[in-house]
Amino acid sequence: MPSSRKRAKGKLRKARSTARAVCVDESTWMNWVQWGTRMKGIQCSHGAIVTPSSNKDIDLFMSEFVDSLRQDFELSSLMRELLIKHPAVFNNNDERKTVTSNMLAMGTNDLLREKNDRKIGTDNANVLACSILILEHYAETNDINASLYLAYPKKRDIDDGGEREALRFFSKRISCTCLDIMYAQAKSKQRKVGRCYGCEKTFKRSTLEVCSGCRICQYCREDCQRQHWPIHKGDCDSWSKCRAWCIDYGFILE
Ligand SMILES: [Zn+2]
Ligand SMILES: [Zn+2]
Ligand SMILES: [Zn+2]
């Protein structure tokens, strides 16, 4: 990573994110993973890979991750911290796959919550989806800044797209059909929406235009982009440098 590394770190932290205290009513991460098998009518582990009890790395990583979700947290800072503490989970293919399979099962269980619990479920699922994306991009790039940058557009769409986007993410990644009906219903009922970073209003996603510098922030019209520019300038600069690095190393094809 070029000299933009430090700056990108600060700026990404400030970006609007999924940061919110997540309500988890399960006592341990393993209960959360196995929750589905205990829920009425669902006898499925959603493809979660059984974690070897001898693997302390994964257990510590998952425990710290779930504990952080219960507090005020910021996802990119949390992932940076976890990378420093548990590098093997990021660097070892088997460990990373086990962790992401756990996270997929957790998110799926959250989306399968009862209707009155659905808001919390979707919030949890969004955070899990973004964490999975960051881990997947790390496998590809070996660089945390690049991973955060590459995960951002989908993270943005999931954050702003409601239940439909979360259902899409998880139903496409799990090996079972547990979310198929819910996703089909959401697709027919909910439009593909996105948020303008200027006026903060929600629009049909296809009508939004993305900033040509960072390709992350999107706007409903030029006025909104112009008004947002003083706030966005710094982020745009750091993100554009991340983007240039990703293009140089072939992680983004232009
Ligand atoms: Zn399932
Ligand atoms: Zn706007
Ligand atoms: Zn920009």
Tally Cβ neighbours within 10 Å of residue 21: 12
Domain boundaries defined on the chain:
5-189, 191-254
How far is the centre of ligand 1, averaged over its atoms, from the C-alpha of 44 (Å)? 4
pLDDT of residue 26: 53
pLDDT over 50 at 83, yes or no: yes
Task: Please state whether the predicted TM-score (pTM) of the whole model is above 0.75.
Answer: yes
| Per-residue pLDDT tens over the stretch 182-233 | 999 999 998 899 999 999 999 999 999 999 999 999 999 999 999 999 999 9
| Per-residue pLDDT tens over the stretch 143-190 | 999 999 999 999 999 999 889 999 999 999 999 999 999 999 999 998
Q: Output 144 or 69, whichever has higher pLDDT.
A: 144
pLDDT of residue 29: 86
Task: Return the sign of the alpha-carbon dihedral for residues 241, 150, 165, 89.
Answer: negative
How far is the centre of ligand 1, averaged over its atoms, from the C-alpha of 191 (Å)? 25
How far is the centre of ligand 3, averaged over its atoms, from the C-alpha of 217 (Å)? 6
The owner of tokens 């510590």 is 60
Closest listed ligand to the CA of 194: 2
